[in-house]
Structure 1
């Protein structure tokens, strides 16, 4: 039998070169692969196959006197009577920074306009903004100075809730605690609490309809949003979300909802408040801390496919029909509000042909392999 040794050597050379290329790519991308792929595999195994995370509660439990240091900040701006004497369907806290006045004004004139919500939707929704002390000191001796921008803004709108801690990324958990403590002492009768970023778009008509239905059914233990399950801590020092081992030593976080926007029922809000009185809040990733608090009191998050995560929802009438939240809106918020609340949205999506058309459209928009952090593919069929 004749054997072509030259061809064999050529094939071996190709195989060797291919192997070297693959190994080179793996070496270059190993750190990212380890963080994004293997880290999640380890975390999922740890979360679901090994532990139920009860030990995390014990490791983070501290004396009440120590826990009080995370909430014992005096109010610089406050409106204790904001909810008094009213049947409040929703208390909506917007997490904002002192310098983001344009974002706050955009929200006040669109989805967060209380007058519109009351007149057009017949619901009482209280929208307030949670913030800390400006990085560039605006105050003297801890008191807001007369005539400062925030004081003028608050006198005009009456919706800023500010506590005396530095407003920074690493104090987001303090801002989360502010919201649950303020509700507990000033608006405990509100049926639901929502927390949202100031670059989130909330489809208020859809949300009010959803919450009214939940309220009529007497829903309890409600914590709804975009759920992250079995997420591992990020150990890369280059990441904004880096968490050192000393701060959180476990391989997996408890389940939690994306901090861009989620809703809890009144009973859950009270349970979270109680949890903050005994847990170490030094972990500065606020949505993860929310998951830790919820896990401590036995509350699990529920997925709602039309709450976006960190992504922006596609612009389309068929999306607006069921949209709850979409993340990453600043300059376009007025245009989106006008388009999403147009009465023709419901008309185009109604009826058999409208539903079939919207299903096809949503499949093309959502069922893509690179579609991350917005609505999942299954949203197309609901």
Structure 2
């Protein structure tokens, strides 16, 4: 090939390479422009506008900014446990675990003592291993906190969080307990949750769960169906916070049973929803958001016994509003002949 021809060929090859590089670069530019914008990180709960839930009858709109404005402590608290009792669910025992979680106040040491002498004690009933756990928050009274620490050291059955006890903070206790369950007690077959002025019949309740088909698919309790919203009194909420006139279904907080298998779904729902300032209604919203269901049973007597007779306590799962002295009288009347057998 002549030198001039060879030079021109070389030049054309170089120009071709340059054109190819230019076209390739332009193509990449177009492709980049067509890509969707990068996803923004999920906004914090307080920065989102609202959550909408429906149960087929009512649609519930929860304005998150209102919850942040009126009850910021319920939305922001990080659930730090002063006493965590992280190993309580891992104690030895081959039977399925039935956790007996009791909401209590540090000042109520007399009630806790009565419960530990009656139904809230480690043992066996209906093929389940019973394990009590008392759920508390702080109090400004140093003497009461000192007694709680002594109880924890002796019985190893206390969880104490670092927020203060109050009526509205019971909802925070609900959220923090779900987190505690999710972290420390995934092996529980069932979780009973009730107040410290409540009588619970372990034999009757475990027998009911053992013989009920698909018991692990439902939350069991005395179910309030679309209860009316109160605008006055202890359980009132403002129209600004909650303009609707009815709540979703919820289990009365006096006492109910939660299958352990449903805890993850409820815990995930608690990360998405604002904390409602009434604890039983708050759980109702979590159940709705998680797509779960309730099972109503009137033997959860959340308004007390129709008659203060042993037969009523024998047939009931729970009876709410029982003072410590009567609690022990009922327990002895029902179970004294069976000491040494299953509680």
- Displacement of 1:53 in angstroms is 3.4
**What is the match of residue 152 of structure 1?**
150
Q: Secondary structure of the residue that 2:302 maps to in structure 1? A: coil
**What is the match of residue 209 of structure 1?**
207
**What is the match of residue 227 of structure 2?**
231
Compared CA separation, residues 163 and 304, structure 1 to 2 (3 A): same
Task: Name the one with the larger strand percent.
Answer: 2
| Counterpart check, 1:301 vs 2:307 | no
**What is the match of residue 267 of structure 1?**
261
**Deviations 1:290-346, CA, capped at 9 Å, x for gaps:** 1111111122322112001233342334423421000111131000112233669xx
Instruction: Find the partner of 1:167 among 165, 168, 171.
Output: 165
CA distance in structure 1 between the aligned counterparts of 2:308 and 2:337, rounded to whole angstroms: 16
**What is the match of residue 303 of structure 2?**
310
CA distance in structure 2 between the aligned counterparts of 1:296 and 1:54, rounded to whole angstroms: 12
- Correspondence 1:1-382 to 2 at 5 A: 52-56=57-61, 59=63, 69-70=75-76, 72-84=78-90, 86=93, 87-114=95-122, 117-118=123-124, 123-137=128-142, 148-214=146-212, 217-236=213-232, 239-281=233-275, 283-330=276-323, 331-341=325-335
CA distance in structure 2 between the aligned counterparts of 1:233 and 1:137, rounded to whole angstroms: 37
- Displacement of 1:52 in angstroms is 3.0
CA distance in structure 2 between the aligned counterparts of 1:259 and 1:98, rounded to whole angstroms: 19
Compared CA separation, residues 255 and 305, structure 1 to 2 (3 A): same
**Deviations 1:47-81, CA, capped at 9 Å, x for gaps:** 99xx633443x645999xx9995551211112111
8 Å Cα contact 1:135/1:167 also seen in 2: no
CA distance in structure 2 between the aligned counterparts of 1:225 and 1:248, rounded to whole angstroms: 25
CA distance in structure 2 between the aligned counterparts of 1:328 and 1:320, rounded to whole angstroms: 13
Compared CA separation, residues 253 and 159, structure 1 to 2 (3 A): same
8 Å Cα contact 1:70/1:174 also seen in 2: no
- Displacement of 1:106 in angstroms is 0.4
- Pair member with larger Rg: 2
Q: Secondary structure of the residue that 2:132 maps to in structure 1? A: strand
Compared CA separation, residues 299 and 60, structure 1 to 2 (3 A): farther
8 Å Cα contact 1:68/1:277 also seen in 2: no
8 Å Cα contact 1:191/1:265 also seen in 2: yes
8 Å Cα contact 1:54/1:296 also seen in 2: no
Between Structure 1 and Structure 2, how many residues are aligned? Answer: 278
- Displacement of 1:261 in angstroms is 0.1
Compared CA separation, residues 75 and 302, structure 1 to 2 (3 A): same
Q: CA RMSD in A?
A: 2.8
Q: Secondary structure of the residue that 1:90 maps to in structure 2? A: strand
Compared CA separation, residues 68 and 285, structure 1 to 2 (3 A): closer
Compared CA separation, residues 213 and 71, structure 1 to 2 (3 A): farther
- The answer for unaligned runs of 5 or more in structure 2 is 1-53, 339-343
